[in-house]
Amino acid sequence: MINFFYIEDEYRLPRAIVLAVVVICILPFLLQLMGADFGNAIHVPATGQASSIAQVTTDDMFYQLSGGFTHALLEWTAFSAAIFVVLLAFCHYSITNDITTPVIGVALFCAGVMDAFHTLAATRLISAVAENNDLIPFTWALSRVFNAVIMIAGVGMFLSGRKIHPKNGFKFIIITSLVFAFIGYLLIYFAATSHDLPQTQFPHAIIRRPYDIVPLLLFLFAGLVVYPMFAKRYPSIFATALLLSALPEVAVELHMAFGSQRLFDSDFNIAHFLKIIAYVIPLVGLVLDYVQTYKIQIAHHEQLKAAHEKLNTKACELDRTNNRLIQSNAELEKFAYIASHDLQEPLRKIQAFGDRLHKRIAIVDDVKAIDYIDRMQKASTRMRSLIDDLLKFSQVGSDDYTLKETDLNEVLKSVIDDLHISIDEKSAQINIEQLPIILGESNKLYQVFLNILSNSLKFAKEGEQPIIKITSQQVIVENKDYWQIKITDNGIGFEQEYAIKIFEIFQRLHGRSQYQGTGIGLAICKKIMEMHNGMIYVEAELDKGACFILLFEL
């Protein structure tokens, strides 16, 4: 009946438990065939004894009640197992947030409550109007049908594929529990207040308890269809144990439907004992599931601990490397500053003596010598420009940045005022939309806009009016909000493959004879934008202009 072949190894019950359950279910039947009797014999008191009437009466009373005592003991053991199941199910839920376990645990508990009512009514600890000969077998059949139906309902509700959000999990558990409890209460009230209960025992028929055929078929359906589907969709040791519990449930109904002829006979007591096993198996599954979850949590904790220690080691290494880089950068910046500063003096002397030499040679009118001196002067001037720009580049990273609210409209106004001569010479048209206020340092941002606008004017098309458009908008880049500033021109542009190269120091796309410059300006812009926690990149097309894009964090 029960197929364990599709269950993954990590969710299988230990083989010893499965074999033990199979043996427990089969062994009582085999022992009965060998003559064993597990029933409570009806004791008839002997006559003519010398003992007192009170003593005989007391002994007879206990002998007569031995079946009731056995029945109560077995039923309360099953109910106790149901209590442990629901308690452990909620403990499991508190760790895993898996709502299937507490819902099924509540279903088992409600079935156990129905069994408890069956016992309390039979022992007259609660009021019931019907006779015990009818009440005990009827409430038994009623509790078994309720047990099967509520378990199928509790498990079946998770087979629809509908997902319950974890936030609504506890609410769903409470509502389901109340519905189960209300249905159980209605059945208990009906059984306790009914005067005439139907006959459920037919000792001389083939099917001696016809009402037990209904739970028999229901448990067969659960074991063959419902539980396997649940174990496949929600694999766990608990689900596997639930599947295995169908075996003793079916064995219980077989003993009652085809074996029991009276209250407290052998099949009656065997069935009640096997019902305990049916409750204990899910309990064992929950315990094993709990242990497995605990082991997994411990393993994850150890992995996280090892990963944390590894990250700490890497962080220490990165911190040491970072400190070395900071020191190295500081030394390089200092070296660049000193080198740039110290090189200025010999360059000034070269230019000064070059000027004097040029004046003396001019008198002699040596054309070739004058050409050599002119080249020397131009080279020294270019080298001085390189040194000045290198000095500026080294100072960009070493300066302290104090980011405060800066109106880009004011920054751009200062840039345009300083470039008005170049703008007028080229009759350039500059269209500016309203720009935002961002966190930045106005002097540094002035350098950025000055470099970009100077390039747009410098690399304008020959004989065509330069048109520069500056716009702004808010954008989202990698889940972060930015102000995006676009500076678009209609100049000569360049191929997009060089879009990264132009931001590298001393990188040029054109010869010095065509366009002046050292190739440091855009590298400075990139460094300034990085110090503002921003970005700069360019989109361009040859002969169609370029668009420089600045991103500032909001």
CATH of residue 458: 3.30.565.10
Q: For the segment 340-356, what is each residue's pLDDT rounded down to a tens digit?
A: 666 666 667 677 767 77
Last residue of some domain: 278, 294, 310? 294
The C-alpha atoms of residue 288 and residue 215 are separated, in whole angstroms, by 28
Per-residue pLDDT at 313 exceeds 50: yes
Instruction: Give yes or no for a contact between 266 and 258, defined as CB atoms under 8 angstroms apart.
Output: no
Host domain of residue 25: 9-38+66-294
- pLDDT exceeding 70 applies to what percent of the chain? 79
Instruction: Give me the helix-helix angle, 367-398 and 266-364, nearest 10°.
Output: 150
Residue 494 included in any domain:
yes
Alpha carbon of 405 to those of 208, 408, 441, 534: distances in Å?
A: 92, 9, 8, 15
Last residue of some domain: 274, 294, 314? 294
Q: How many domains does the chain have?
A: 2
Residue 185 included in any domain:
yes
Residue 320 included in any domain:
no
Q: For the segment 87-113, what is each residue's pLDDT rounded down to a tens digit?
A: 988 888 888 888 888 888 888 888 888
- pLDDT exceeding 90 applies to what percent of the chain? 24
Alpha carbon of 402 to those of 9, 399, 441, 451: distances in Å?
A: 62, 10, 6, 21
More confident residue, 330 or 117: 117
Give the pLDDT mean for 237-265.
Answer: 90
Q: For the segment 46-64, what is each residue's pLDDT rounded down to a tens digit?
A: 554 444 444 545 555 555 6
Per-residue pLDDT at 265 exceeds 60: yes
pLDDT of residue 50: 45
Same-domain status, 128 and 248: yes
Per-residue pLDDT at 523 exceeds 50: yes
pLDDT of residue 2: 46
The C-alpha atoms of residue 4 and residue 13 are separated, in whole angstroms, by 10
As a whole number, the mean pLDDT across the chain is 82
Q: Token match 């089969």: residue?
A: 26
CATH number, residue 181: 1.20.1070
Same-domain status, 117 and 262: yes
Out of 137-151, 232-246, 387-401, 453-467, which region has the weakest mean confidence (pLDDT)? 387-401
Residue 156 included in any domain:
yes
Beta strands 467-477; 535-540: pairing state: unpaired
| Backbone angles phi and psi of 71, in degrees to 5 | -60, -45
Query: Could you tell me the pTM of the whole model?
Result: 0.56
Residue 455 included in any domain:
yes
More confident residue, 27 or 511: 27
Residue 99 included in any domain:
yes
More confident residue, 411 or 351: 411
Residue 490 included in any domain:
yes
In this structure, what token pair is assigned to residue 271?
């069935």
